[in-house]
Each structure stands twice: as structure tokens, then as C-alpha cells.
């Protein structure tokens, strides 16, 4: 007969209440693991969403996300000519403070004059909610566009159009203002965020280069001077390439590295750079929180089991007196610790899985993370119960006698 179970059944209400408390704590700790998973996934979502097999960036840098990278835009043609490369596209990346500047307007294609006119308009009337965007400039018929359009269309050849991430919250047809220029939202893309968690916005390469110049004219000019034979304003942050299925990314990358002033990263290398440099601090912070929460859980389990065991002092003494071996007594204490851990963990995990989609940032939990965490809880309970076990083993059979 299992004494641990029988004792728990006898005090079921108290046991379940204890499990509820511990379960919430373990749920929070597990949430930390999931939030970390979410940070990793969000950090990788941009690089993955662009579906690049190869990244060409400034020599000596690990750009364009972890480090700054500026290269002349005409490198794209050289990359596109390489054997194995099926398509190549120039990209710019900039984080911009934008503002939501009003609802749907007329659908005209803006001319150069209109660009200037709209700039004046925006300068006069500043309003709307501030929006931090990761703006990606690309050439609409080349790689680098939004991974999927939910609503509306992709950007065309016209000026001042924008495809905006669903997470930004602006509706189709809305006007978004950046550096005193207004862009019309012509498409809403599927959820993807920058490495910092900002919503993404796509505009044409040309618009993005204008934007770069407007945001920081002196820096842009310096870059033009330093960029060798680059055309005025034709500076990009990276060129991405798609390869034919037969091409080996590593050897194409090696080919590009032989060129002066350029570095090349395969998709796998880019992901590694992102996880290492961008996610590292998040990992340290969330890891610290998880560790503290698990330590607190361990202390709580130890105290609960110790108290449960102390409450049973007389029963344990009686068991020893009537000749129960130590194994029976150790099993009683340890099985209760395991059961406490198992029920709490199951409750906490179930609760978290039920609410995780309502978190502001993504919570990513696979069966592996859950199983690993469960194993950790098991080990914690094992060690936490040792205090109770030590107490139980020290109970003297004589303590059962007398009043």
C-alpha cells in the first residue's frame, strides 16, 4: 500500500492548494523559458522571412543586424552574375520613428512634385501616434520583399508606397509619416518583427535611400565620399542572394569573400550571428530570472516537504517502532515531493499553454522545452526533499511512545 498517496488523499484539499501555489510559480518560470524562445524566434523571423541563402555585407562586419554595414548598391549586379545565384536584391535597413498620419486618402500615384508637397504638408501639421518601425528598402521585382501579404498588394513602381506589418496596427490605406514624408499603406504583411521586436515596413529602395539621406544628411554624404565609385545615394546595407538548389552556399560565400571590401554570410551563419549577438543579453536576463524562480521553487518545495514531514513525526516514529525499514520512510517523503512537483508542474504548464497566446510578446514553447523543464523540476524536487528525508531519518522510534 502506498503511504505517500494515502496521506495525500487524506489531506487532499491542502495538497491541491499547495500545488496551485507552486504551479503558478513554476508556470511563471516556464513562461520565462517560453519568452526566451519567443525572443529567439522574433530575432530570427526577419532574417528568415527574407528567405536569403546568402548575405553580402561590408567587409569585416557581421551585418546588417548585429553590426553596421554599408556597401555600394551596384554590388548587386556582380553578385547576381555569380554562378549558382538565381536572384539578388539590394536592401537597406533603418529603424525609424514614424507617426500614423491619418486614414485612407485618394489613390493617386505621387509625382516628384507631390513628394515635395507632401513633405511640406507633414511639416506643417504634426500629429498622430508615434510608431517605431524597422524600415526595409528593396527593389520590388527582386528578393527582399515581405514574406506574405495579408491584405492589399505589394508595393509597385510608384513612389511613397508602403507595406506594413500587421502588428503595427495601421489599416490599409493609412498614411504613415517618416522624416516629414507621408507614405501610403498599400499592403499589410504577415506578422514579422525586427530583432528588437519592432514591426516591419517595406518601401522601395529608392524611397529608403531618400529617407536615409533625410534622416542623417552628413553621414550619408560621408558614406558617398568613402564608398569609392558608388553613385550618389546608391548605398545599401546588404545584398541578399537566392541560390539554385544545386549550389553550395559555403563555396559561393567563399567566392565573394575573395572580393575586396566585402563579407558574405550563409543563412545559417547569419542566424548564428543573430542568436549570439542580438539574443545574448536577453538570454542572460531571462536565464537569470528563470534561475531565481527555480531557486525560489526549490526553497518552497524544501520547506513544504520539511513541514509535511515534521507534521508526520509521530507517524514516522510509530512506523520505525513497528519495524518499518528506512526505505519505506524515505519513499513516503520522496514520493510526496515528486507528486507535489509533478502535479504543480502539470498544472502550471497547462495554465501557461492556455494563456500564452495572450502575452504581448511571443511565447514559444515546444515539447522539448516543456520536457526539459519538467526534468529540471523533477531534479529540484529530488534535492529539495532531502531536507525532509534527513529529518525523517533522524526521528527516534522512542518519540512514538508516551504522551
Partner 1 sequence: MSALVALQGIAKGFGAGEARVQALSDITLSVAAGEVVGLRGPSGSGKSTLLNLVACILEPDEGILRLAGETVWQGRWAKADLRALRRRTIGFIFQFHNLLPFLDATDNVALAMTLNDVPLPEARDRARALLDYLQIGRRAGAMPAKLSGGEAQRVAIARALANRPHIILADEPTAALDSERAQVVMDLLRRVAREQAAAVLVVTHDDKIFGRFDRLVSLRDGRIEGEMRPG
Residues that bind partner 1 (CB under 8 A): 1, 3, 6-7, 9-11, 314-315, 318-325, 328, 396-398, 400-403
Other C-beta atoms lying within 10 Å of the C-beta of residue 347: 18
For residue 382, the minimal CB distance to partner 1 (Å) is 23
For residue 271, the minimal CB distance to partner 1 (Å) is 55
For residue 381, the minimal CB distance to partner 1 (Å) is 21
Backbone angles phi, psi at 135, to 5 degrees: -95, 130
Torsion of the alpha carbons at 29, 34, 37 and 43, rounded to the nearest 10: -110
Nearer to partner 1, 107 or 402 (CB): 402
Q: Angle 99-359-147 (CA atoms, 0-180°, nearest 5)?
A: 60
For residue 333, the minimal CB distance to partner 1 (Å) is 14
Pairing of strands 200-204, 130-138: parallel
Nearer to partner 1, 176 or 317 (CB): 317
Half-sphere exposure of 360 (CA within 13 A, CB side): 3
For residue 321, the minimal CB distance to partner 1 (Å) is 6
Nearer to partner 1, 247 or 316 (CB): 316
**How far is it, in rounded angstroms, from Cα 27 to Cα 64?**
36
For residue 328, the minimal CB distance to partner 1 (Å) is 7
Q: What is the CA radius of gyration of the chain?
A: 30
Half-sphere exposure of 166 (CA within 13 A, CB side): 10
H/E segment holding residue 391: helix 367-394
Nearer to partner 1, 114 or 330 (CB): 330
Closest CA to 51 of 298, 229, 271: 271
Nearer to partner 1, 284 or 314 (CB): 314
Nearer to partner 1, 272 or 328 (CB): 328
Helix axes 280-311, 313-321, angle to 10 degrees: 60
Nearer to partner 1, 29 or 332 (CB): 332
Q: What is the DSSP string of 257-319?
A: HTSTTEEEEEHHHHHHHIIIIITHHHHHHHHHHHHHHHHHHHHHHHHHHHHHHHHTHHHHHHH
Nearer to partner 1, 6 or 51 (CB): 6
For residue 2, the minimal CB distance to partner 1 (Å) is 10
For residue 340, the minimal CB distance to partner 1 (Å) is 16
Amino acid at each position: 500500500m502506498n503511504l505517500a498517496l494515502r496521506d495525500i488523499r487524506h489531506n487532499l484539499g491542502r495538497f491541491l492548494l499547495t500545488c496551485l501555489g507552486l504551479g503558478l510559480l513554476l508556470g511563471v518560470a516556464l513562461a520565462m523559458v517560453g519568452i526566451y524562445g519567443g525572443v529567439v524566434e522574433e530575432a530570427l523571423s526577419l532574417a528568415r522571412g527574407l528567405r536569403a541563402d546568402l548575405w553580402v555585407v561590408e567587409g569585416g562586419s557581421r551585418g546588417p543586424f548585429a553590426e553596421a554595414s554599408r556597401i555600394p548598391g551596384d554590388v548587386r549586379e556582380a553578385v547576381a552574375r555569380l554562378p549558382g545565384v538565381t536572384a539578388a536584391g539590394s536592401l537597406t535597413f533603418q529603424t525609424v520613428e514614424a507617426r500614423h498620419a491619418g486614414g485612407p486618402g485618394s489613390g493617386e500615384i505621387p509625382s516628384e512634385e507631390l513628394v515635395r508637397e507632401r513633405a511640406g504638408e507633414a511639416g506643417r501639421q504634426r500629429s498622430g501616434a508615434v510608431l517605431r518601425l524597422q524600415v526595409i528598402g528593396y527593389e520590388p521585382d527582386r528578393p527582399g520583399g515581405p514574406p506574405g501579404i495579408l491584405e492589399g498588394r505589394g508595393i509597385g513602381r510608384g513612389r511613397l508606397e508602403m507595406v506594413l506589418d500587421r502588428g503595427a496596427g495601421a489599416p490599409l490605406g493609412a498614411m504613415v509619416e517618416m522624416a516629414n514624408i507621408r507614405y501610403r499603406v498599400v499592403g499589410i504583411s504577415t506578422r514579422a518583427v525586427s530583432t528588437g521586436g519592432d514591426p516591419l515596413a517595406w518601401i522601395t529602395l529608392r524611397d529608403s535611400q531618400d529617407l536615409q539621406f533625410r534622416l542623417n544628411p552628413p553621414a550619408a554624404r560621408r558614406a558617398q565620399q568613402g564608398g569609392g565609385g558608388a553613385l550618389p545615394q546608391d548605398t545599401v546595407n546588404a545584398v541578399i542572394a537566392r541560390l539554385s538548389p544545386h549550389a553550395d552556399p559555403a563555396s559561393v560565400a567563399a567566392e565573394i569573400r575573395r572580393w575586396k571590401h566585402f563579407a558574405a554570410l550563409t543563412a545559417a551563419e547569419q542566424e548564428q550571428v543573430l542568436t549570439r549577438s542580438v539574443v545574448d543579453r536577453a538570454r542572460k536576463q531571462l536565464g537569470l530570472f528563470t534561475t531565481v524562480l527555480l531557486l525560489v521553487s526549490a526553497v518552497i518545495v524544501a520547506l513544504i516537504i520539511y513541514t509535511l514531514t515534521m507534521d508526520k513525526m509521530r507517524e514516522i516514529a510509530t512506523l520505525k517502532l513497528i519495524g518499518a525499514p528506512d526505505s519505506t520512510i524515505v519513499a513516503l517523503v520522496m514520493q510526496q515531493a515528486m507528486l507535489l512537483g509533478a502535479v504543480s508542474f502539470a498544472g502550471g504548464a497547462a495554465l501557461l499553454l492556455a494563456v500564452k497566446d495572450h502575452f504581448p510578446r511571443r511565447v514559444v514553447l515546444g515539447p522539448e522545452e516543456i520536457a526539459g523543464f519538467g526534468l529540471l523540476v523533477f531534479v529540484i524536487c529530488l534535492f529539495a526533499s532531502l531536507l525532509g528525508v534527513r529529518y525523517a531519518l533522524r526521528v527516534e522510534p522512542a518519540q512514538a511512545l508516551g504522551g
